Amino acid sequence: MTDDTTILLVGHGSRNRDGNNETLSFAAQWRERHPERRIEVCFIEHAEVLLDDGLDRAAKGARRVLVIPFILNAAGHVKMELPAALNRARERHPGVDFGVTRHLGMGREIFAVLQGQLDRLMKQLAMPDPQTTGVILLGRGSSDAGANGELAKMARWIFEANEHELVDLAFTGVTWPRLETVVQRQVRLGMMQVCIVPVYLFTGVLIERIKAQVDRLRQQYPQVAFALGTHFGFDKGIFDLLDAKVDGDELPEGRMLECDGCKYRADAEDEHLHDHGHTATGACGHGHGHDHSHDHRHG
């Protein structure tokens, strides 16, 4: 990273000012970790500094601008609005090289953050039996099926890495199912505890809405113990993920790694080149040791 490069974090933006302030606070903490870097922030909506203005500020006095979509899932904002704004910025600043990384995505790093959230919630519940403790990953929800599918992938990875009977996903808006519906289903299937893991970077209107929903659910199901996680934008894993993006240590855009969720991946990388056969043993071709054969689901 050279002195004439600006890093531009592009947040989603929230109607709740606290959410935007947390993004700015994150940037301040990231600067403290790397005082040699010039780090700027803008938002796609609901903020004072939006895309065009942010790109102009980042380009001032720079030869290169590295744009990082500080967003978990790529939907219309990342796929359409950001590229259009970048094209306009290139026309306004022909002497500046504008580059863009992938959004944060749902890969190994975010999975580790979510697993850490779940581990803390289980301790909060005094480590109950996972077979009677349901897990719900709760996302923003999108009209983009691919973005919703990324959260579904995380739900499956959480299931594979733990012993919970049920790991489901729910959304706060746009698409289905919603939190209340999934909780109702899990309670009917015998869950005595429910861990709710919000998949959000920072606070905002939806985080406040989630807290109110869980308060109502506690009243509706007094026999069930609920543990609610929180947004995780200040987790060390998020800082590390952004560092990897700046250093170029991430997969090229569009490349998929089938073994990302495989617990044998670290060992296997030293032994072979991942010739992925989609066999009955799993997408990566490895026989996974996680066995639910004691469980009625696999009869």
* Average pLDDT, integer, range 286-292: 42
Report residue 43: phi and psi, to 5°.
-135, 160
- pLDDT for the residue 112: 98
Model-wide pTM > 0.85: no
What the block records as the tokens of 56 is: 């102009």
Q: What is the pLDDT of residue 55?
A: 98
- Inter-residue contact 43 to 10 (CB < 8 Å): yes
Query: Is pLDDT of 295 > 60?
Result: no
Q: Is residue 247's pLDDT more than 60?
A: yes
Q: In the predicted model, is pLDDT for residue 256 greater than 50?
A: no
Which amino acid would we find at residue 273? L
290 burial level (CB within 10 Å; 0-12, 13-18, 19+)? exposed
Structure token pair of residue 289: 């040791």
Measure the N-to-C terminal CA separation of the chain; round to a whole number of Å.
55
pLDDT digits (tens, 9 = 90+) for 265-286: 444 444 433 443 333 333 343 4
Instruction: Give the chain's mean pLDDT.
Output: 87
Distance of CA 276 to the CA centre of its chain: 25
pLDDT at 187: 98
Return d(Cα 178, Cα 171) in angstroms, integer.
5
Query: How crowded is the C-beta side of 247, counted as CA atoms within 13 Å?
Result: 8
The sheet carrying 97-100 orders its strands as 38-43, 5-11, 64-69, 97-100
Residue 1: its pLDDT value, please? 61
